[in-house]
Amino acid sequence: MNYLEKYNIWVENPYFDEETRLELMAIKNDEKEIEERFYRELEFGTGGLRGIIGAGTNRMNKYVVRKASQGLSNFILKRNISSPSIAIAYDSRHRSAEFAVESARVFARNGIKSYLFDGLRPTPELSFVVRHLNCSAGVVITASHNPKEYNGYKVYGKDGGQLPLSLSEVVMEEVNKIRDITSIKVMDFNAAKEAGLIEMIGQEIDDEYIESLKTLSVLKIDQEVLDKCRIIYTPIHGAGNIPVRRILKETGFNNIYVVPEQELPDPDFSTVKYPNPEEKAAFVLAISMAKDMDVDLIIGTDPDCDRVGVVVKNRNGEYVTLTGNQTGCLLMEYILQGLKRQGKLPPNGFVVKTIVTTELARKIADFYNVKLVEVLTGFKFIGEQILHRDEQGNEKFIFGFEESYGYLAGTFVRDKDAVVASMLIAEMYAWYKSRNLTLYDGIMELYDKYGYEKEGLDSFTLDGREGVEKIQNAMNRLRDEQPSMFGNIAVKAIRDYEKKIRIDIENGTAEPMELPKSNVLYYETKEGFWFCIRPSGTEPKIKIYYGVSGASPVMSEEALNNLKKQVLSKIRPLLS
């Protein structure tokens, strides 16, 4: 069936509501737009769905959400689980509440009970409640830090982590088996509630979540010091406003100032171009407020409150954003040294980072004699390590992070958690203040102690069908050619995670790798640097990560600039 035939079905079939029909009729003379909306099904990937909101098979709408929910229902029912249940949460985006309700109605029609939050909640709280209520699975409606036009549908397993590859592929198969979207039935919402198939949850779970996270505090800081700590916080119009402010208040921080223009939920994210705490632009209002109030720490969380960004004042009084690598290494150092100081550092402890996360983390782990586990990009793989090594094994998870501003301490949650991270960042800030130092001073201490590691990231967005094809073609070219040079940068070895092999360029030998299969190419240079190329799993982007080290900040900066220049001289032509 071609895209025009699919379009006509959506326009003519009474299964689709009048709002959908009118939206599609408005583009009846725009064949390119019709093709873009219907040339494929919105792909249910390893983490679920993510796409632009709108009518069509290649868009996020209640019908595509119903299809995903029916596929998940089929997956659960085939596993013969006694009294199956699914927890559902959602953030502040357009249609999030509607998509959450539609999901619950599908689950109810299949005899699966839903625990549905009574308002927006952070994604990590969804992970928590899956474990707390012993659910069979979890769903959160969010597109994380994507632009306002997007929404998404993430699936979690019974351990509270994102589904592992082995199970997500089975769910994908169940979703893809559904050929006729109009065959999916839903149950009336009120009838489902009366039948006990939908149960609303809220305050009681919030209390359990916050109390659990508070036990992860590392050091007891004197209240006199805490009262000197002044922090500006922005939820960037998302789900973090209530839980982050609450946990900071309950751990002794009485001087928290919220950016008023960004305090309340706003699906248009009207004060920012992108609601992404990785971008300094998201902190313009917060920095202005900090300057007026002479505050030297800003914390910001993304719409579903799983990522957190940090802005600090440097020694020149300028406000600078910390990278995800810097914040992660600060937290790792603070947690490990704090536990060691108290004699609480477990002998079987481990920390986790992704392959594109700074090598500085390895140096910190080595210093404290703690095992470092490296995983593929994506926090789901960190969550898997907790399940296999801690819950099912005899090791103790301490901390995990990725360069894209995701951090996790403890095992109550199995995904990145900006609520516990905000608590620990504030506590760490107070600890440095007790030593008359700032978090910027802390970064300098790290570099002086371990060396001047520096990382970078370039990303290229190529929208539409043609963009996706260009990205894949570029990856195919690089994989087939196995280049030994990128400009004047000599490659020592290539790790091809798609083929699961490491290729030594000099002698041409290949050795197997244990990590799961993934469309990623990682290059080790003869200078001891690295860069990694991968398509984004959630956006039409290709990303290039870089890592260098040097004897001084200037030398690291020069090495990074040259590495980026040489790599891009080869990559840009492949994307044109």
- What amino acid positions are annotated as catalytic residues? 144
What Cα–Cα distance (Å) separates residue 66 from each residue in 105, 106, 326? 9, 6, 41
Neighbours of 326 (CB within 10 A): 25
Give alpha helix (H) positions in 261-417: 284-293, 324-341, 360-367, 379-385
- To 10 degrees, the CA torsion angle through 39, 45, 48, 50? -50
Report which of 275, 358, 42, 329 is spatially closest to residue 181, judged by C-alpha positions.
42
The Cα angle at residue 521 between residues 519 and 527, in degrees rounded to 5: 165
For 229, counting Cβ atoms within 10 Å of its Cβ (0-12 exposed, 13-18 middle, 19+ buried), the class is: buried
Task: Identify the bridge partners of residue 297 per DSSP, sorted by sequence position.
Answer: 312
Instruction: Name the residue with tokens 């994380």.
Output: 144
DSSP H/E element including 424: helix 418-434
d(CA 502, CA 513): 7
What residues does 512 pair with on adjacent strands?
501
Q: Where are the alpha helices (DSSP H) in 482-534?
A: none
The 8-class DSSP code of residue 218 comes to -
Instruction: Answer yes or no: are the C-beta atoms of 46 and 157 closer than 8 Å.
Output: no
Amino acid present at 267: P
Of 294, 225, 223, 284, the closest CA to residue 257 belongs to 294
Could you tell me where the DSSP H helices lie in 44-200? 62-78, 96-109, 123-132, 165-177, 189-194
Contact 460, 564 (CB under 8 A): no
Q: 404 — phi, psi (to 5°)?
A: -85, 40
Sign of CA dihedral 390, 354, 469, 146: positive
Torsion of CA 185, 186, 187, 188, to 10 degrees: -130
Tell me how many degrees the CA angle 118-119-124 measures, rounded to the nearest 5: 105
CA gap 526, 563 in Å, rounded: 12
E strand intervals along 134-220: 137-141, 150-156, 198-201
